[in-house]
Each structure stands twice: as C-alpha cells, then as structure tokens.
Structure 1
Amino acid sequence: MTEAENSPAAPERPGRTGDRSVRVIGIVIAVMGIVFLVAGITTYAVVSSTLGDEKITVSDDADHFAGKDVKGPFTAYAQADVIAKHAEEIGGGKTYAELAQDDPNRSTVMTASFLRASLFTSVVAFGVAAFVAVMGVLLMLLGWALMRVGRSTA
C-alpha cells in the first residue's frame, strides 16, 4: 500500500452549493424571526388595547398596582388576585363549587370566578406574546449567524 492510501482522506470543503444553502437557510430563519417578532409585539399590543378598552381599574385594596388601569400582565394578575380575595369573603371561604345551589352568594362567586379566568387568560396571552417575540429575536440572530458562516466559507 502506498502512503496516500494509508492516510485518512482530508475532509472535503463544502462547495459553493453548500455555502449557498447555508446562506439561504440563514435568510429563511432570519425572516421567520422577523415574522415571530412582529407577531409577538402585535399580539401583546392587541391584548393590551383590548384589555384597556374594558376600563378595568385595579381595586384600591389590591396588594400591588391599586388604582392603575388594567392594561398589562401585572395589573391583570393583581386584579385577578383581589377578585379572588373578594370572592372568598363573599362565599365565606368557599368556592363556587362548594357553595350550596340555593346560596344567594353563589352567582356572585361564579361571576368572580369567570372574571378571574378571563384575566388569567390575558396574563397567559401576554406571556405567549412575549415568548414569541423573544423567539423571533433568537431566530434572527441564528439566521444572521448562519448567513455569516455561509459567507465566510465561500
């Protein structure tokens, strides 16, 4: 055997097609990142605007954000928390499901439960929107990195 046959083959350098593929994938990922970022910010703004249109104000006896308009995740959570406190007082420490069907407070506690659920839904929507926006930024960075790698190997 010759020396050339015994030596391991040198790793092949990707050709122009491989370089172009990396750049194209980088561009696609970066564009998806932009879409995610815009979608996340838009969703956050729409949820905030819609919640603000309800003209809800955090109760004065809330632990945090008392008197503030409910337009964001923290004020929505604070109002949901104070609603729970009020419902517990009205229900005598019992939840809607625990109250007797003929209890006159059952309807009020049920409404409080629905209001809390709605506010918690908006808190989750804010969280998902923020997550999508952050993922958009990460995708843009990944796409940028891939475009640079594709460019540097050319």
Structure 2
Amino acid sequence: MTETEPAGAKPAKRNDKAVRVVGIIVAVLGIVFLVAGVATYAVISSTLADEKITVSDDAAHFAGKDVKGPFTAYAQADVIAKHAEEIGGGKTYSELAQDDPNRATVMNASFLRASLFTSVVAFGVAAFVAVVGVVLILLGWVLTRLARIA
C-alpha cells in the first residue's frame, strides 16, 4: 500500500504480461520500420547513383558531386531550373508558344526536376520511417521494463 491509497484498499490488478507482450510487439514493429526505412534509403541512393548524374559545375552547392543523396538531388534540380529558365527566356513550359523550339527542352527539364524532387521526398519518407522505428523500439523497451518493475 502506498501513501496515496486509502487504508484497506486492494491494490489494482495489473496485467503485467499484457504490457510486456504489447512492448515486445511494438519493439518488433520498430525493428521492421527501422530496417524498411534504412533499406529504402539505400535503394533510392543506389538507384540514383546508377544514373551517373553529376551536379552541374554552376550549382550553388555540391558542384561536381555525384547525385546519390537528397542534398545533391535537390542541388541538381535547382540548377536544372536555372538552366531551363535561361533556355526558355524566363518562361515556363506552359508559358512558351507551342511552336517555340525550346519548348521540348524546357519540358524535359521540368520532368527531370520532378523526378529529382520525387527522390528527395522519398529520402525524407525513408528517413522518417527509420526514425519512427527507433522511437517504437524505445517505446517497446520502456513498456517491457515497466512490466518487469510492476
């Protein structure tokens, strides 16, 4: 009996086994999330590296580096936008006349940027999943410890 319990009160029944089982399930899910996040990040990086893209020399950051991570992908997408703007005379694909000879080039630049931005988002999601995995592992560990203490 603790000081906060009234005299003669029966201790509340605790289902320590259930807490421990939930803790183990949460920790296992955390391991799955962590592995999935890290594996996805690695696959995205490998796939980008296979494309053998190099950040343009006139990029604001990472010039000359291979595109295989979120920062280099973003830097290359940014410099592609700059090049497309120069080629299009400051106009976007939709603003160029249909018979403009630069329209196809600006369109390809837009597609390349979208693809690179998609990889940047995918890197972010993979990292988020991995971090959630770590949090779930810690939560599961805490739950199993609490079950033992009780």
Q: TM-score range by the shorter chain?
A: over 0.9
Q: Is residue 149 of structure 1 aligned with residue 140 of structure 2?
A: no
116, 121, 125: which one pairs with 1:124? 121
37, 53, 61: which one pairs with 2:50? 53
- What is the aligned-residue identity percentage? 78
When residues 152 and 93 of structure 1 are mapped into structure 2, their CA distance, relative to the original with a 3 A threshold, is: same
In the alignment, what sits opposite 2:63?
66
When residues 11 and 70 of structure 1 are mapped into structure 2, their CA distance, relative to the original with a 3 A threshold, is: farther
19, 22, 26: which one pairs with 1:25? 22
CA distance in structure 2 between the aligned counterparts of 1:20 and 1:61, rounded to whole angstroms = 61
Q: Is residue 44 of structure 1 aligned with residue 2 of structure 2?
A: no
Q: How far off is 1:14 after superposition?
A: 2.5
SS at match of 2:52: coil
When residues 11 and 59 of structure 1 are mapped into structure 2, their CA distance, relative to the original with a 3 A threshold, is: farther
In the alignment, what sits opposite 1:12?
11
Letter in 2 for 1:13: A
CA distance in structure 1 between the aligned counterparts of 2:8 and 2:78, rounded to whole angstroms = 67
Aligned residues: 145
In the alignment, what sits opposite 1:4?
none
In the alignment, what sits opposite 1:101?
98
Letter in 1 for 2:69: G
Q: How far off is 1:30 after superposition?
A: 0.1
Q: Is residue 133 of structure 1 aligned with residue 130 of structure 2?
A: yes
The structure with more radius of gyration: 1
The CA RMSD over aligned residues, in Å, is 1.3
Letter in 2 for 1:143: G
CA distance in structure 1 between the aligned counterparts of 2:8 and 2:75, rounded to whole angstroms = 65
CA distance in structure 1 between the aligned counterparts of 2:8 and 2:104, rounded to whole angstroms = 79
CA distance in structure 2 between the aligned counterparts of 1:13 and 1:119, rounded to whole angstroms = 57
What stretches of structure 1 move > 2 A for 4+ residues in a row?
7-15
- Provide structure 1 residue ranges, at least 5 long, that are not aligned to the other structure: 1-6
Letter in 2 for 1:83: I
CA distance in structure 2 between the aligned counterparts of 1:9 and 1:110, rounded to whole angstroms = 79
- Provide structure 2 residue ranges, at least 5 long, that are not aligned to the other structure: 1-5
When residues 87 and 22 of structure 1 are mapped into structure 2, their CA distance, relative to the original with a 3 A threshold, is: same
When residues 11 and 52 of structure 1 are mapped into structure 2, their CA distance, relative to the original with a 3 A threshold, is: farther
